Structure 1
C-alpha cells in the first residue's frame, strides 16, 4: 500500500506540473465564502484553512448524503456505527467529534440532549444543499462554544427567477431506494424553495457480519424543508426557514456477537428560523437579526428476544435550543469591514433510561434542565494594496453556570498577484461549554465544571496555475486542548484531561482538457497529553494518522460523465468495550474504490449509476461494527 501511494502521488503531481501554466486566476480565488468571517469575502482574502464543495460537484460525484461529502474533505475523519443510517461522528484535525460545530442555514445543529453536545450526521442528505463550507481550526471568536476543531456550515438552495421543478429517484443494493421532489422559484417579491425526500433500506447487519452476525438492520428517513424570502421594502428582506426530519434505524449491541433483532432507534427533529436583514446608508451598514429554534426527540428501545431474554432497555431524550442573533457589518472605511454583534442562546434537555439485565433493573432520570449563554463579538477585516489582508476578532461569552470566557483569533494573508500565490496563517483560542448532562446529571454531573479550552495554529500556502484550474496547497496545524471533560474515581465529571493534535494537509487539483483530477492527503497525530492518564502520549481513538483521497472525472460534451474515486484510511486505534478493562485494538488500514457514470439524455432527463466499494473490501471503521460491501445503484434525475 505504501508503494502504491508513493507511485500514485508521484505520477499525480508530475501530471499537474506538466500541464500547469501561470495565468490570471478568475475562478477559485474570487469565489465568495461566508463561514470564516460571517461576511461575503473572496477566498483569496481568507486566512483560515477551508474547503468548499458546491451542488454541481456533489451531483457530479453522485454523493447522496452529507456523510459521503465529508468523507472526501481533508482534515476530517468519519465513523459510522454500522453503515448508512446509523450514528455518525466526524473528527476534525484529530479533535473530538463534539468539538465540531455544525450549522445549517445559520442554525446550530449540535444536540443539547446529547451527553457531549455532539451532532449525529446519519440522517442528513444533500437533496437541498447549495454548498458546504468547512473551516478548520478554532472558530470560537465568531461562533462561541463547540467550534474548537472547526465549523461545518451547510447552506441550502434558495429560489429565484423562473420556477424550477426537480424529481430524483434511485434504487440499489440492500433494497435501498431514495426519492426527492423540489420546487424553486419566485413570485413577485417572494422567493421560495420547497424540498421533500424519502430514503429507506433493509440495510446490513450493524454488528459486523464477519463474526457471524447476519440479521439485517435497516433504516428510513424522511426530510422536508421550506425556505421563503420576501423583499418587502427596498434593501429590507425577511426570510423564514423550516426543516423537518424523521428517522428510524435498527441497531445492534456493541460487541463481537452483537446481533439484536429488537433494538430500534427513532428520532424527530424540527428546525425553524426567522431572519430580518437590511442594507442601510447606501450599503454602508448591513445588519441581520435572527431568531431560531431547534427541537429534537429521540427514543431507543431494546425489547427482549430469544438470545437476550433478560435484557431490555428504553431510553428517551428531548432537547432544544433557542437562539437570538444580531449581526452588523460596517463598510464605512474603505478596504475595511467591521463586524460586531451579540447572540443569546438557551439550551434545554431532559432524558430517561430504564433497563433490565442479569444484574437487575437500572433506572436513571435526567430532569428538565436549562442553561443560558450570552456572547458579544467584534471582528475587523483589513486590506492593504489588494495583497495583504488581516482578520482579527475578539469575543466575550457569559455562561449561566461557569461564568465568563474570552476568546480571540487573528488570520493574516499575503497574496502575490504576479504568481497567484497565497500565504496564509491563523491563530485562535476556543472553548467548549459543558453540556447539560455533564453539568446536571444526578449521578455523573458536576455544576462546578469549567469549559474546555483550546489554542490552535496553522500556516499554509496555496499556489494557483492555469486560470485557477490547477492548484497546490499545503497546511501545517497544531491544536492544544486543556481542561477536557473526564471522570474521577467516583465517575463524576471533572476538568482533568488534555490532548494535543498536529499534522499536515496536502491538497492538489488539475484540469486537463475534459479530465479533472483532485487529491488530498492528511497526516494527523492526535495524542492523550494528560500526564496522569494511563494512556499518556498514546493515540486518541478512531483518528487515523494517514488518509488519502483521489478523484478523477472525465466529461465528454457536457453529456457523459465517468468518475473514479479512491479513498485510503490508515490504521486506527479503537477499544474493545465489551471487556473490562477495555482493551486497545489496532484496526487495519483499507482502500475503497468507487466508480460512477451519468448520461444526460436531454435537457430534462439524466440517468446515472455507480458502484461503491468496487472490490468488496472487508473493513471496520469502528470495532465490531459492519460496513457496506460492494454496492450497486441506478437512478434518474428529471428537471423541468
Structure 2
C-alpha cells in the first residue's frame, strides 16, 4: 500500500462524529454447498455477499466486485474486460480460472476450451447473492473444482430499478431490473448495455481499444400449488472487444496507453465478437415436507469471431453446450441427503483462414451423493461423486477418464457466536479441448492428463452484531497440475502437467462495525504455491514457486455514513509482486510488479433516487501483467471516474 493511500485511510478513520441507525450482522443462509445451512454452521470456508454489498460497491461488472471485495482475484490480462481470468487459493493468474467451477442459479458456466467464464452475462443489478466455497464444491460442481466453486444467485423479488452512469474515456452504461413476485408467479427481466471508447492506442491514427457489450436475461417461476414448481429462463449476451499485444518495460513505465513495439506494426491489433444464447427449464416436485425431486435442463449456443486485420486472418468457433441435472433431496431434523445425476455435452467446431477445420466433443456424466448429519452442536458432512469424461475429435483421437470426487467435513458450534470447522476434499480438473489440439495446424498435440488435488482446511467463524470474522488455514497437495510450457526457443512449447506441487495459505475475512457511522471490511490472503517435481525440455523446475501467484493479498474497504442518506467508501486493493506468468524457472530478470489501486466512492439517496460517483485508481498507479521479460499487458493503469443515478419504483 502506498503512503498516500495509508494517509487517506487514516483521515477516514477520524470522520466518526455523526450517527445513524446502523446495520447489525447475522449469519447468512447458504445454498451452494448442496444442503442448505448458514455461515456459522457450514463445514466449509465460505464467503457470502448480498445485493447490498454489490450495490454499495458500484462496480461495472461482476469481475470488478470479485476483485475488490472478495478473496477472488480477477484480471483482464489480454485486454478483455468482459471475460476475465479469475483465481483463488494460489492457482495463478494463468490457469486459476480453470480450477474454479462457476455457476449461475446452479447452471455451470465453465467452457470446454480455454475461454474464461462469461461473467459479464450477469448484470450486477440482477444479483441476489454470491457464494464462494473455497477448496470444496467438487461433489455438486464436478470437473474443475480444484480451488473451489462460485455460485451466483439472481433475484426473485418485486424490485424495479433503472440505473445509468457515464465516465471517463467514453464510458456509458445503462441497466434495468424489473421483478414481480406473488404466491404463484415470480418473473423478472434484467438487462444492461455498456460501451467504452478505450484507453490504449491501437494505431497511429488515434484509434483506441474500444469495447462494448449488452446482456438481457429473463427468469420465471410458476407454482400452481404447494407441490409443484416450474422454472424457465433465458439469457443473451453480446460482446465486441479489441485486443492489444504486450509492451516493453520501458514503454510501460513511459506510457502504458501507447501501442508498444511488441505490436509487430502500427496497425497490429485483433478484434473478437463473442455471442452467447442460453435457454434453461426446470421443475421441482415436493412429495411432502421432507422429500422432493428436481430436474433442470439448459442449452447454450456460443459463437466467437476472431479477426487479425493486419494479416487478414480470421478464426470462428461455434459452441453448443447441453447440461442436465436431476436429484432427490430428503431433509429432517436429524439429517439431510441429496442424491442425483448430472450430464454435460459440448460440441466445438473451429475453422480458421489457414484451412484448419476441427470438430471436437466433450461428454461428462456423473452421479453424486451428499449428506449432512446433525448431532446437537456437531454437523457432519460427507459426499461422493463419480464422473466419466470422454472427448472425441473428428479425425479419431479419443480419450476417456473415470474420476472420483470426495468431500468430508464437520462443524462444531462452540457457542451461539462461534464455531470451528474442518474439511477434506479430493477434486480434479480435466484438460480443455484446445490444450490437446493445434489451432494453426489442426493436429493432435498429445493428451494432457487430468489434475487431481487433495485439499485440507481448518477454520474458525465468529459472529456478533458488530463483527463477522472468518479465519481458515489450508493445504493443497496436487498431482499433474495442468500448465503451458513456453519454450524460450519456441519449438517445444506445449500444454502438459506438473508432476507434483502443493499450496498452502491463510485466509482472513473481517467485517467490523465500529459504530453507527463507520464500518470496515478486510480480506487478507497469504499463499505459497510450490512446484515439487517437474522437468520439461531439460529444465528442472523442482522446488520453484508457481509463477503469477502473489504471496500477500489485501483488500480493505472503509464505509463512512455521516447521515442516513450518505455513504462514503474508500477501497484499497494490494497484491505483492510475483514471478512473471511464464517464469517457471524463477529466473527472468523482470518480475510481476505489485498491484495497487485505491478507489473512492460516494452515494447519496433521496426518496426513490440514488446518486453515486466513483473514482478508481485515484493515485494513478501503473498496473500490468508480466508474461516474460519486456512482455507486459497493461491493466488498470490510469485514473478513471464515473457518476450516475439509480431510480427505484
For the aligned pair, the TM-score class normalised by the smaller chain equals 0.7 to 0.9
State the partner residue of 2:374: 383
For residue 246 of structure 1, what is the aligned residue in structure 2? 238
Take 2:80 and 2:534, find their aligned partners in 1: how far apart are those partners? Answer: 38
Partner of 1:421: 418
Q: Which residue of 2 aligns with 1:504?
A: 506
**Is 1:202 aligned to residue 194 of structure 2?**
no
Distance in 2 (CA, whole Å) between partners of 1:414 and 1:7 is 41
The answer on whether the counterparts of 1:81 and 1:87 sit within 8 Å (CA) in structure 2 is no
Shift of 1:215: 4.7
Deviations 1:198-218 (A, max 9, x none): 1001011178x9xx9975211
Equivalent residues in 2 for 1:271-350 (5 A)? 271-281=278-288, 283-304=289-310, 311-332=311-332, 334-350=333-349
Per-residue deviation, 1:192 = 0.6
Most deviating of 480-489 and 124-133: 480-489
Find the aligned partners of 1:551 and 1:449 in 2 and give their Cα distance: 42
> Corresponding residue for 2:254?
none
* TM-superposed deviation, 1:284: 1.2
Structure 1 unaligned segments of length 5 or more: list them.
14-24, 305-310, 355-361
Q: CA deviation at 1:74?
A: 4.7
CA contact 1:169–1:637 (8 Å) conserved in 2: yes
Structure 2 gap ranges (5+): 14-22, 249-259, 391-398, 486-490, 627-631
Distance between the aligned counterparts of 2:375 and 2:10, measured in 1?
38
Equivalences for residues 348-363 of structure 1 within 5 A: 348-354=347-353, 362-363=354-355
Please give the TM-score of this superposition, normalised by the length of structure 1. Answer: 0.86
TM-score by length of 2: 0.85
Report the 3-state secondary structure (helix = DSSP H, G, I; strand = E; otherwise coil) of the residue aligned with 1:141. helix
TM-superposition CA deviations, 1:359-383 (whole Å, max 9, x none):
xxx5533x22213221111111011
Instruction: Describe the superposition over 1:88-122 as per-residue Cα deviations: whole angstroms up to 9, x where unpaired.
Output: 1011111222111111111111122x2x3642546
1:485-634 equivalences in 2 (<5 Å): 485=482, 493-511=495-513, 512-533=515-536, 534=539, 535-575=541-581, 583=588, 585-602=590-607, 604-622=608-626, 623-634=632-643
Asked if structure 2 preserves the Cα contact closer than 8 Å seen for 1:263 and 1:300, the reply is yes
Aligned to 1:111: 111
The CA distance in 1 between the partners of 2:274 and 2:234, in whole Å, is 17
1:637 matches 2:646: yes
**Secondary structure, in 3 states, of the residue corresponding to 2:347?**
strand
Alignment of 1:399-410 (within 5 A): 399-400=389-390, 401-410=399-408
Question: What secondary structure, in the 3-state scheme, does the structure 2 residue paired with 1:203 have?
Answer: coil
Query: How many residues end up aligned between the 2 structures?
Result: 597
Equivalent residue, structure 1, for 2:49: 53
2:227 maps to which of 213, 235, 257: 235
Which of residues 361, 378, 383 is equivalent to 1:370? 361
String of CA shifts for 1:325-380, please: whole Å, max 9, x gaps: 01221125x321011111111111121333xxxxxxx5533x22213221111111
Q: Of 185, 196, 205, which residue of structure 2 is paired with 1:190?
A: 185
Task: Give RMSD over aligned pairs.
Answer: 3.2
Asked if structure 2 preserves the Cα contact closer than 8 Å seen for 1:83 and 1:204, the reply is no
Q: CA-to-partner distance for each residue in 1:598-639, whole Å, 9 max, x for gaps?
A: 11122x211111111111112214423242411121100111
Counterpart of 1:129 (choices 117, 127, 130) is 127
SS at match of 2:196: strand
Q: Distance in 2 between matches of 1:139 and 1:166?
A: 33
Check 1:86–1:499 CA distance in 2 against 1; reply closer, same or farther (3 A cut): farther
Superposition deviation, residue 453 in structure 1: 0.9
Q: 1:411 aligns with which of 409, 428, 431?
A: 409
In structure 1, the residue matched to 2:256 is none
SS in 2 for 1:111: coil
* Residues 1:268 and 2:275 aligned together: yes
> 1:293 Cα deviation (Å)?
1.6
Instruction: Say if 1:390 and 1:411, in contact at 8 Å, map to a contact too.
Output: yes
In the alignment, is the contact (CA less than 8 A) between 2:85 and 2:97 conserved in 1?
yes
Contact 1:402 1:451 in 2 (8 A): no
